[in-house]
Amino acid sequence: MQTTEGQTAYSRTNPFQAKVLKNVNLNGAGSSKETRHLELSLKGSNLSYVPGDCLGVIPANDPQLVSAILEETKWDAEQPITINKQGDTLPLKEALTTHFEITLLTKKIVQQAASFTDHAELQQLVSSENVEQLKEYIDGRDFLDLLRDFGPWKASAEEMLSLLRKMPPRLYSIASSIAANPEEVHLTIGAVRYMAHGRERKGVCSVYCAERLPEGDTVPVFIQQNKHFNLPESQEKDIIMVGPGTGIAPFRSFIQERAVTKAAGRAWLFFGDQRSATDFLYQDELEQYQKDGVLTRLDAAFSRDTEQKVYVQHKMLENSKELFEWLQGGAYFYICGDKQHMAKDVHNMLIDIIEKEGSMSREAAEAYLNDLQEQGRYQRDVY
């Protein structure tokens, strides 16, 4: 693809190889978390973004997992494998490393695999009356588990790999403003590692970034616009941001942008994590922004520092009167982070606060929040 200036247009299908300028762990010694701060160069890409946008990263699979699959199957690592309808091929080991999603199973993969083996247990698992058991099996298991659990297989490497999906890019909220960091893009990524079914599991992209992306290396990236998560058009407007953990990422971008544009609107950040000593991400920067007046208020909650767990929604409640005054004055409210628990808890607390401080019924408070959402003044970036 060419743009008018004769430059290549980089995209999801044609990603830009961004050079890693910096890759550091933001957590202190003794933290139970590892959060990487990545700075990537966009020099020569012609790529641009606005605060709220995402960066697509195309990762590679864990070499140890690839080796374990090759060991289990005794497949020839150099055998050419067809990877698409166009008939393009890659050596098998490379295909497993860069092309296929090998860490997730789907119902479809397991059902189709059943035709490649006589294993009675698998035939039973995919039968229509065992839908729940199949769902349970898939959860937290990967391609290696499938290969180990139900062999021997009556299929070639090519047939087995044809079951798999193409490696999807991972999208991360951008943690920088291009106005503050010309030709750069920053990310805040929490490394995902956990035990399941007797093996350590690793997030494909987060651990790729944490363990195998040293400074000087390149990584394939593209910009993904996010039209539903942006700063207000008017710089006079106040903003309230709730971003625990890696949810801080887009707000670092918002704050940097407002520092450069010298926005008149006030900014209030609620940040939360486990321990203030080891997990206060970007603490020095945020405190400096507060000193400079770019960040009007900074309220942090650390759940493991006290007997009673304190989360961001508790800090909101402590400041409920002022928070409601900001909303009444036209402030925009943003949430970024975990959809499962945090976003729900913050949403419900927001309704509680509107109900209490606005002396409204529950229904009226919910309607108030719906109205904010319709005006684009209540925005969520949750995952």
Would you say residue 54 lies in a domain?
A: yes
Would you say residue 330 lies in a domain?
A: yes
- What's the total number of domains in the chain? 3
Domain match, 208 and 245 both: no
Q: Are strands 193-196 and 80-82 parallel, antiparallel or unpaired?
A: unpaired
Q: Supply φ then ψ for residue 235, to 5 degrees.
A: -80, -5
Domain match, 271 and 342 both: yes
Would you say residue 65 lies in a domain?
A: no
- 3-class state of residue 166 by DSSP: strand
Encoded tokens for 268: 């209030």
Q: How far is Cα of residue 187 from the mean position of the Cα atoms in its chain?
A: 10
Domain match, 202 and 317 both: no
Q: What is the pLDDT of residues 22-50, one digit of tens each?
A: 999 999 999 999 999 999 999 999 999 99
Q: What is the pLDDT of residues 350-383, one digit of tens each?
A: 999 999 999 999 999 999 999 999 999 999 999 9
Rounded Cα–Cα distance for residues 3 and 175 (Å): 27
Domain match, 176 and 300 both: no
Beta bridge partners of 184: 41
- Give the CATH number for residue 84: 1.20.990.10
Out of 143, 161, 179, pick the residue that ends a domain: 161
Domain match, 93 and 183 both: no
Does the pLDDT of residue 1 top 80, yes or no?
A: no
Would you say residue 259 lies in a domain?
A: yes
Domain match, 286 and 368 both: yes
Span 219-223, average pLDDT: 98
Say which DSSP state 335 is in: E
Q: Which domain holds residue 209?
A: 16-59+169-224
Domain match, 246 and 332 both: yes
Q: Supply φ then ψ for residue 8, to 5 degrees.
A: -65, 135
**Residue (of 267, 129, 148) closest to 199 by Cα position:** 148
Q: What is the pLDDT of residues 321-359, one digit of tens each?
A: 999 999 999 999 999 999 999 999 999 999 999 999 999
Rounded Cα–Cα distance for residues 40 and 183 (Å): 9
Would you say residue 335 lies in a domain?
A: yes
Q: Which residues contact 272 (CB under 8 A, 6 or more apart)?
A: 244, 245, 300, 301, 302, 303, 310, 311, 312, 315
Q: Which residues contact 298 (CB under 8 A, 6 or more apart)?
A: 268, 269, 271, 286, 287, 290
Rounded Cα–Cα distance for residues 256 and 177 (Å): 6
Distances (CA, A) of 223 to 6, 12, 17, 382: 19, 8, 12, 18
Q: What is the gyration radius of the CA atoms in the chain, in angstroms?
A: 24
Domain match, 280 and 350 both: yes
Out of 114, 140, 161, pick the residue that ends a domain: 161
Does the pLDDT of residue 4 top 90, yes or no?
A: no
- Give the CATH number for residue 378: 3.40.50.80
pLDDT at 377: 98
Say which DSSP state 8 is in: B
- The 10 Å CB-count burial string (b at 16+, else e) for 168-204 is ebbbbbbbbbbebbeebbbbbbbbeeeeeeeeebbbb
Domain match, 55 and 198 both: yes
Span 43-61, average pLDDT: 97
Would you say residue 157 lies in a domain?
A: yes
Q: Are strands 170-173 and 16-25 parallel, antiparallel or unpaired?
A: unpaired
Domain match, 177 and 29 both: yes
Domain match, 88 and 216 both: no
Rounded Cα–Cα distance for residues 356 and 353 (Å): 5
Would you say residue 122 lies in a domain?
A: yes
Q: Supply φ then ψ for residue 25, to 5 degrees.
A: -90, 125
- Give the CATH number for residue 189: 2.40.30.10
Position 8 confidence tier, pLDDT thresholds 50, 70, 90: confident
Rounded Cα–Cα distance for residues 44 and 81 (Å): 34
Would you say residue 342 lies in a domain?
A: yes
Domain match, 50 and 189 both: yes
Q: What is the pLDDT of residues 96-123, one digit of tens each?
A: 999 999 999 999 999 999 999 999 999 9
Q: What is the pLDDT of residues 140-188, one digit of tens each?
A: 999 999 999 999 999 999 999 999 999 999 999 999 999 999 999 999 9
